[in-house]
Chain A
Amino acid sequence: MDINMTIIGQTIAMIVFVWFCMRFVWPPLVHALDERRKTIADGLAAAEDGQKKLEEAQARFEETVRESREKAAEVIQQAEKRGREIVDQARGEAVSEGERLIAQAKAEISQEASRARDALRGDVAAVALSGARQLLEREIDPATHKQLLDKLASEL
């Protein structure tokens, strides 16, 4: 239990150990810790940056989608309008075509009618003539009365 030379030995040991620790052990350990801390800090910053970028991209994406939707709605509206126009135009053309056809048909009908009337007129003259011939029997010479009969027929 006496104080003896051991105290000197231990002092030397302590000086050597502390020097060794200070020279070879502590610096690399602390350096590595600092480096890892920096890496982690960088990683966190990068993650935050990425988050921000993601948010920006999200906002841009939503903006684009909104614009597209608006554009699509506009296109649909235009298409509908155009469609209506086409239908209206088609309907107008159809109506005018119909009217034209009707007018044509009417003209043909009246033409046909006047032709029929002409034919009828001739037939009536012939019937009248044959009637008159039957009534008068041979008393009437067709050649002599032809002029009279033509005049009659034109008056029908």
Chain B
Amino acid sequence: MAAGQKTAGEYIQHHLQNLQVCKVDGEWVWNHCQGNFWTLNVDSMFFSVFLGALFLFLFWRTANRITTGVPGRFQAAVESLVEFVDTSVKETFHGESKLIAPLGLTIFVWVFLMNLMDLIPVDWLPATAHVAGIEYLKVVPTTDLNITFAMSLSVFVLIIYYSIKAKGVSGFVKELTLQPFNHPIAIPFNLVLEGVALLAKPLSLSLRLFGNLFAGELIFILIALLGVWQLPLHFAWAVFHILIIVLQAFIFMMLTIVYLALANEEH
């Protein structure tokens, strides 16, 4: 444990604190940003952008060198991922779109990589950062609500875009107001019902990912408090967590595709 003299509560608090920067009275301030919207979680942003760039760099390099003959091992892995996403999209989304499949691939691999950070023992990177003079470091971007909400809200915007594109503004409004009860009197009721259903999509999408990863991270932190016993427990939980990180990445991608497919369909 890096937290030598800290109590358990302080240790957990310390691990759940983002490295933040904000501007107060024209000056950049580190880690004293409570309640200030214009705060950046530097650690979340850094790992998120780093992992996204890593994913894109590896795939872009493969795409540039791709051969239609016998593929290398990494190319074969990339191809199977692309094939997998492509199949998922084609089975679900029955329309022409150049965006959905790359969006699905980006979400799947990116979220997977961000989740994967959870498997690095919880103290390694924060302790290294501490040596380098950085006080706080939260290494799993998907345990930050800002990250998951940013992604789900982007998907939400796309849902609305595809709804309007497929049905027009009037069609979209009709869908919100004349369902499930097609009567003028029922319009407010329908609006509430459909509005909740619509808003529940980005909310559930981001909270599911955040909740799973946050809980997993918390359990890793709790296990890290157990002294020697953390070794077998950490191993067991990490093995179980491998399933969760892939599953959550897949669910996020699949639901994105399903929501967009639903938005694109005529009723």
Q: Does B bind A?
A: yes
Contact with A along B139-163 (1 / 0, CB 8 A): 0000011110111011000000000
Q: CA A13 – CA B46 in complex, angstroms?
A: 11
Given A10-B45, A13-B48, A28 contacting B64 (CB threshold 8 A): yes
Q: Check if B211 is an interface residue, CB within 8 A of chain A.
A: no
Q: Pick from A11, A14, A21, A32: contact of B105, CB below 8 A.
A: A21
Q: Which residues of B contact A36 (CB under 8 A)?
A: 68-69
Q: Which of A13, A22, A29, A35 contacts B103 (CB 8 A)?
A: A22
B41-89 residues at the A interface, CB under 8 angstroms: 41, 44-45, 48-49, 52-53, 55-56, 59-60, 62-64, 66-69, 78-79, 82-83, 86
Using an 8 Å CB-CB cutoff, how does the interface string of A17-61 with B read, 1 for contact, 0 for none? 110111011101110110110010000000000000000000000
Contact of B145 with A30 in the complex, beta carbons under 8 Å: no
Number of A positions contacting B (CB below 8 A) = 30
Contact with A along B89-111 (1 / 0, CB 8 A): 00000000011011101100010
Cβ contact within 8 Å between B45 and A6: yes
A33 contacts B145, CB within 8 Å? no
Among B44, B49, B102, the residue within 8 A (CB) of A22 is B102
B82, A33: Cβ atoms under 8 Å? yes
B residues contacting the other copy or chain, number (CB 8 A): 51
Interface residues of B, dominant DSSP: helix
Q: Which residues of A contact B33 (CB under 8 A)?
A: 4
B133 at the interface (CB under 8 A from A): no
Question: Which of B41, B49, B59, B68 makes the CB contact (< 8 A) with A25?
Answer: B59
Closest to B67 in A: A32
Question: Nearest Cβ distance between residue B67 and chain A, in whole angstroms?
Answer: 7
Contacting pair A3 B63 (CB below 8 A): no
Whether A9 and B154, one on each chain, are in contact in the complex, defined by CB atoms closer than 8 angstroms, is no
**B48 contacts A28, C-beta separation under 8 Å:** no
Contacting residues of chain B (109-159) with chain A, CB-CB under 8 angstroms:
110, 144-147, 149-151, 153-154
Partner of A28, one of B63, B106, B149: B63
- In whole Å, how far is A13's beta carbon from the nearest beta carbon of chain B? 5
- Contact assessment for A21 and B48 in the assembled complex, using a CB-CB cutoff below 8 Å: no
Q: Tell me the nearest residue of chain B to A11, going by C-beta.
A: B150
Cβ–Cβ < 8 Å partners of A24 in chain B: 60, 63
Binding site for A on B (CB under 8 A): 16, 20, 22, 33-41, 44-45, 48-49, 52-53, 55-56, 59-60, 62-64, 66-69, 78-79, 82-83, 86, 98-99, 101-103, 105-106, 110, 144-147, 149-151, 153-154
5 contacts between A and B (CB under 8 A): A7-B149, A10-B45, A21-B59, A33-B82, A33-B83
Q: Contacts A7-B147, A17-B53 given; 16 further ones with Cβ under 8 A? A: A4-B41, A5-B39, A6-B144, A6-B147, A7-B149, A10-B48, A10-B150, A13-B49, A13-B52, A22-B103, A24-B60, A25-B102, A28-B63, A29-B63, A30-B82, A30-B101
